[in-house]
Structure 1
Amino acid sequence: MEERYHRQALFKPIGNSGQQLINQKHVLILGCGALGTASAEGLVRAGIGKLIIIDRDYVELTNLQRQQLFNEQDYLHQTPKAIAAKSKLKAINSDVTIHAHVMDATNITLEPLLKGVDLIVDATDNFDTRLMLNDLAQKNHIPWIYGSCVGSTGMSFTILPKETPCLQCILDAAPISGATCDSVGIIYPTVQMVVAHQLTEALKILVEDKGSLRSNLVTFDLWNNQYQTIKMDRAKKKSCPSCGDNPSYTYLNYESQTKTEILCGRNTVQIRNKRHVSIEQLANRLLSIGQVKKNDFLVSVAFQSYRVVFFQDGRTLIHGTNSIETAKKIYYQLTG
């Protein structure tokens, strides 16, 4: 088995001792889309000891362009992403213990799975889940690596509880666009660039080389040849509800969670979020999706066979379905 990882162990910052550490470590990946499948494959090839992968969705045709563990058979059989990923990963490295969970990640379903986890890799597609994950990681003192990509742009940041700014601090200091792959598209190299940053940071954490970790937020635009690192030291706030002196873990509270309900007799699901939206910004972003209508109070868009209406007060109506899961999927596809 030493021969399998020989080239990796030859890399001096890892070495044989680092390889042994990797073989003993436990990583959780939240999300099994583009970032999640690539990160999972990289960790499995690197010889991670135990891997948990979580995703609520199944494989669709549009996934095959960038989600590298899936094939046409997975799409034809509508295989859950976590299950399809596990099958491919076990074929790559049968020595790795892999647990696949087909589920909606909430603070209630996710927290029991964090026991013994050494690192969390973010591969989610929305900030509701990321902010919940941020609170859970701070509460349980688990490092995690944020990553996101859309179009030809991406970013990544490594979060160490009690040491670095958390995601909430970063969002307060440098608001991030809510553009999604469904609204502006994505090219495959963008995914690989984010994964390269996330996986490299993951290996540093797994071999316990904290001194080599990147302390800056990295952002890039491959198409426009832009690359930037932004210092985030001053972003950390003592008053932060997630990583501050007196954390309240706001996004683990019921009041802060996104609420859903089926509207009786209307073939409509309502989603309620505490965050108010900018009608103008949302309307401009949705123009590439379909026909957009707006006034001072709401913006609506035709998306596939659904009509989606966003209200300024944070409510959203998804007309054309009585399925909460379908409604949430559409909501996150459009809002990020």
Structure 2
Amino acid sequence: MEKSWERYSRQMLFQPIGEEGQQKLLNSKVLIVGMGALGTVVANHLARAGVGHLVFCDRDYVELSNLQRQTLFDEEDVQQFLPKAVAAEKKLRKLNSSISIEGHVADISANNIEEFIEGVDVIVDGTDNFQTRYLINDVAYKYNIPFIYGGAVSSRGMGTVFIPGKTSCLRCLFPTHDSSGQTCDTIGVLSPVVDIVASLEALQCMKLLTDNQDDIANELTTFDIWKNHHFSMKLGEANEQCPTCQLKEYPTLTESDQDQVTTLCGRDTVQIVNNGTVDLEESEKKLRSLVKDLKRTPFLLRVYLHEGETMVLFPDGRTLIQGTEDISRAKTLFSKYIGM
């Protein structure tokens, strides 16, 4: 065995993987959408397992409240206001320098998701909202890429695997979803349930990549680790009118305009997406005399307003207005300091 493969020796002793499966892992490419609680655990497992090319996207930066469950981050990342994608890439490179790792500070949308799927063998869900999951679902079925879904909130977790041409899709299982549902930011989440869900996602990904698809159950698994509940449900047949896997309309990919102003549920934050890019240095010069305080890093500009709210500007044109869920007020502050 080659010396560079020594790190995988115990994994290769597992007969369903072996040397052949390990080579398949090394030749594989996985996209993880979201680098929060689920994404960090998935990425950690897949990097250590030797998946040859990991790509991940996340729009956010590391905050102190993340450290309870987002396992790739530490207090230094918080102090430096590092974007999650940047902090995760640094940590993962230290775990395994022999694989390719790409972290992108990006808000996944219909406008850019197709840029990240070239050569991807599996897409893994590391998000916390169904709007993005429907988008992943559409791109997965359009390009025939398996999609691993997972969710965790409170003490509850769930997950399944959607395989184009073999299973029904996410939209068949959840035709609609109430965006005002419970989230980690509104009712909390336990770190162990995140670990369980994300570890199962990583395991299913390894099955897919090593051609052990027959060992994947065609079912949705749900559980509550606090109340000791566990339930599995067959995915069932596809809905004949499903716009994704049957009619192939892919509605989230073909929407002409994405919402430019979005309330981030439970986070007391409004996100505003402006056309074009932002020059952080120029923005700092413009705003310095107008605001209470500001701090600039290579990745973002954090601005403390006299009104009490905080603005966070990203180079890709996104701005977070923190301290309000009132879209009108967020627009007013944005217009005052940035210009609509």
TM-fit CA distance, 1:86: 0.4
Matches within 5 A, 1:297-336: 305-308=323-326, 317=327, 319-320=329-330, 322-323=333-334
> Please, which of 143, 147, 161 is the counterpart of residue 146 of structure 2?
143
Q: Percent identity, please.
A: 43
SS at 1:141 equivalent: coil
CA root-mean-square deviation: 2.5
Against the structure 1 CA distance between its residues 208 and 307, is the aligned structure 2 distance closer, same or farther, given a 3 Å change threshold?
closer
Letter in 2 for 1:84: A
SS at 2:174 equivalent: helix
Which residue does the alignment assign to 2:26?
A: 23
Maintained 8 Å contact 1:269/1:323 = no
Against the structure 1 CA distance between its residues 218 and 10, is the aligned structure 2 distance closer, same or farther, given a 3 Å change threshold?
same
Which residue does the alignment assign to 2:201?
A: 198
Maintained 8 Å contact 2:270/2:322 = no
> Whole-Å Cα distance in 2 between the matches of residues 165 and 19 of structure 1?
29
> Please, which of 3, 10, 13 is the counterpart of residue 16 of structure 2?
13
For these two proteins, the number of residue pairs brought into alignment is 278
> Please, which of 217, 222, 225 is the counterpart of residue 222 of structure 1?
225
Matches within 5 A, 1:111-190: 111-172=114-175, 178-190=181-193
> Whole-Å Cα distance in 2 between the matches of residues 68 and 260 of structure 1?
30
For 1:304-332, what per-residue CA distance to the aligned partner results, in whole angstroms no more than 9, with x for missing partners?
A: 83254xxxxxxxx36346459xxxxxxxx
For 1:87-120, what per-residue CA distance to the aligned partner results, in whole angstroms no more than 9, with x for missing partners?
A: 0000000001011110111122120221100001
Which residue does the alignment assign to 2:313?
A: none
Gaps of 5+ in 1: 262-267, 272-302, 309-316, 325-336
SS at 2:41 equivalent: helix
Which residue does the alignment assign to 1:253?
A: 254
Gaps of 5+ in 2: 263-268, 273-320, 336-340
Post-superposition, which runs of at least 4 consecutive aligned residues in structure 1 deviate over 2 A? 172-178, 253-261, 268-271, 317-324
> Whole-Å Cα distance in 2 between the matches of residues 206 and 253 of structure 1?
29
TM-fit CA distance, 1:80: 0.6
- TM-score when normalising by structure 1: 0.78
- TM-score when normalising by structure 2: 0.77
> Whole-Å Cα distance in 1 between the matches of residues 235 and 175 of structure 2?
11
> Whole-Å Cα distance in 1 between the matches of residues 112 and 81 of structure 2?
23
> Whole-Å Cα distance in 1 between the matches of residues 178 and 227 of structure 2?
21
Letter in 2 for 1:18: G
> Whole-Å Cα distance in 1 between the matches of residues 7 and 270 of structure 2?
51
> Whole-Å Cα distance in 1 between the matches of residues 99 and 203 of structure 2?
19
TM-fit CA distance, 1:269: 6.7
